[in-house]
């Protein structure tokens, strides 16, 4: 990636300068508004701390959830500002708006090392607008907050696949740099795609084949083994002519899965047993059955122990592993063993010198929720969608704009 980085910006000097940073604080909240997984906030700390310690006046933008282009208290960044302040050991101001009078007044009052977090950037409909002029008008308002000698640091990897005002358009208006997080993520993905050590194993889970189709097609030609679990395995099992009971099924994708199984028979690996239950509930009694014996009135919620053994054997000698998507409903203890077992196999391969990447999203959440050691993996990504699109071979707007 031929872009300027945070090190370049710090070498140029940031003391007393307004620096606009795009972070990714799209963290999960419980019903009480408490952050349940602060992984993305923790990942943002190195860049923010380095800039603050060097005397920059920081204006930080981020989003949370999917507000419909207008303020919604449910998606306020207030919990993030509190958590971030505690972790940085300094007060983080939260503006009462995005680029309105409060944001402007607070930005003008910043002193060296201060940090101002703007309210949820998606409260402004221009952020996600398909109209270039609308996005540019928001970008110009953001630039006003940091002044003429400002700079832009892109550090929200989870959004670099989006052509949005705070990700893409601001980079066209200010000197731009990749933050520590973005630079690290891209370096890891380049290693996955350009200097892959073999055997190369890919583990894909999650609910829908349609969400992962492009990455399956792309990686099936590059990986030595591609393991399929999670809800999407049932569409593949149906493509083999098996009954999947009331399990999640994308009927419109069955023919596509059949073609994939025919084309990549030696690469694709499906479960051999499934943990089923009568309903999607944590207290629904689990039962393990063979893949060809799923009862009509039951749904699969995890892969079974024999599948874990087979997948672990495939992973045991892998030199490179990419994992995206849980093997089952890991949030329910009775249906978490598949995800935990496969994750432990990846950790074992990493311990033997393998290079492993957890592709963000639910996989990263599973690592933390299941109490697995984060340092057991070579890298845990903060951006599931961005990671997948990169591996599909797509151009990521938030990265390409940094190269210009």
- Structural domain spans, the chain: 6-183, 196-390
Question: How distant is the alpha carbon of residue 379 from its chain centre?
Answer: 12
Q: Which CATH number fits domain 6-183: 3.40.50.1260, 3.90.1150.10, 3.40.50.300, 3.30.465.10?
A: 3.40.50.1260
Q: Does the active-site annotation cover 310?
A: no
pLDDT at 391 over 90: no
Q: Which CATH number fits domain 196-390: 3.30.300.180, 3.40.50.920, 3.40.50.1260, 3.20.20.150?
A: 3.40.50.1260
Calpha distance 175→165 (Å, rounded): 15
Find tokens 């060097």 and name the residue. 54
pLDDT of 362 reads 86
Q: Does the active-site annotation cover 74?
A: no
pLDDT at 361 over 80: no
If pLDDT is split at 50, 70 and 90, which confidence band does 1 have?
low
Strand partners, 116: 59, 93
Least confident of 52-61, 120-129, 211-220: 211-220
What does the DSSP 8-state code read for residue 336? -
Task: Average the pLDDT over 355-370 and give the result.
Answer: 89
**CB 290 within 8 Å of CB 245:** no
Strand partners, 60: 21, 117
pLDDT of 207 reads 87
Q: Do domains 6-183 and 196-390 have the same CATH topology?
A: yes
- Write the burial class of residue 109 (CB in 10 Å: 0-12 exposed, 13-18 middle, 19+ buried): exposed
Question: How distant is the alpha carbon of residue 172 from its chain centre?
Answer: 25
Calpha distance 369→340 (Å, rounded): 10
Q: Does the active-site annotation cover 198?
A: no
Single out the catalytic residue among 49, 87, 90, 208. 208
Single out the catalytic residue among 245, 354, 385, 398. 385
Single out the catalytic residue among 40, 126, 162, 298. 40
pLDDT of 210 reads 87
Task: Average the pLDDT over 128-143 and give the result.
Answer: 98
What is the tens place of the pLDDT at every residue in 237-263?
Answer: 999 999 999 999 999 999 999 999 999
Residues above pLDDT 70, as percent of the chain = 100
Q: Angle at the Cα of 376 (from 26 to 208), degrees rounded to 5?
A: 50
What is the tens place of the pLDDT at every residue in 84-117?
Answer: 999 999 999 999 999 999 999 999 999 999 999 9
Q: Does the active-site annotation cover 212?
A: no
- Enter the tokens of residue 259: 């073609």
If pLDDT is split at 50, 70 and 90, which confidence band does 404 have?
confident
């Amino acid at each position: 990636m031929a872009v300027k980085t945070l090190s370049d910006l710090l070498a140029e000097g940031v003391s007393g300068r307004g620096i606009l940073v795009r972070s990714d604080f799209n963290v999960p909240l419980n019903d009480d508004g408490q952050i349940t997984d602060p992984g993305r906030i923790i990942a943002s700390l190195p860049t923010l701390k380095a800039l603050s310690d060097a005397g920059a006046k920081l204006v930080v933008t981020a989003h949370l959830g999917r507000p419909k282009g207008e303020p919604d208290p449910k998606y306020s960044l207030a919990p993030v500002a509190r958590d971030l302040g505690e972790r940085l050991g300094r007060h983080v101001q939260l503006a009462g708006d995005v680029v309105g009078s409060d944001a402007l007044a607070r930005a003008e009052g910043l002193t060296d090392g201060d940090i101002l977090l703007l309210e949820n950037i998606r409260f402004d409909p221009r952020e996600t607008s398909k109209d270039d002029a609308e996005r540019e008008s928001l970008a110009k308002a953001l630039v006003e907050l940091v002044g003429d000698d400002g700079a832009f640091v892109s550090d929200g990897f989870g959004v670099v696949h989006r052509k949005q005002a705070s990700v893409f358009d601001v980079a066209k208006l200010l000197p731009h740099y990749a933050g520590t997080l973005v630079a690290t993520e891209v370096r890891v993905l380049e290693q996955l795609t350009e200097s892959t050590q073999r055997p190369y194993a890919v583990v894909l889970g999650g609910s829908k084949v349609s969400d992962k189709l492009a990455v399956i097609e792309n990686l099936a030609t590059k990986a030595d083994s591609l393991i399929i679990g999670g809800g999407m395995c049932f569409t593949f099992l149906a493509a083999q002519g098996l009954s999947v009971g009331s399990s999640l099924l994308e009927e419109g994708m069955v023919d596509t899965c059949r073609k994939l199984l025919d084309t990549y028979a030696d690469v694709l690996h499906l479960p051999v047993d499934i943990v089923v239950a009568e309903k999607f509930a944590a207290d629904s009694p689990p039962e393990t059955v063979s893949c060809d014996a799923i009862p009509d009135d039951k749904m699969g919620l995890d892969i079974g122990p024999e599948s874990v053994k087979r997948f672990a054997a495939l992973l045991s000698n892998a030199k490179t592993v990419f994992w995206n998507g849980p093997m089952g409903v890991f949030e329910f203890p009775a249906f978490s063993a598949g995800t935990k077992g496969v994750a432990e196999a990846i950790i074992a391969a990493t311990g033997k010198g393998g290079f492993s990447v957890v592709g963000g999203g639910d996989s990263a959440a599973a690592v933390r929720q299941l109490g697995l050691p984060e340092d057991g993996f070579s890298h845990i990504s903060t951006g599931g969608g961005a990671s997948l699109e990169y591996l599909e071979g797509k151009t990521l707007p938030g990265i390409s704009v940094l190269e210009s």
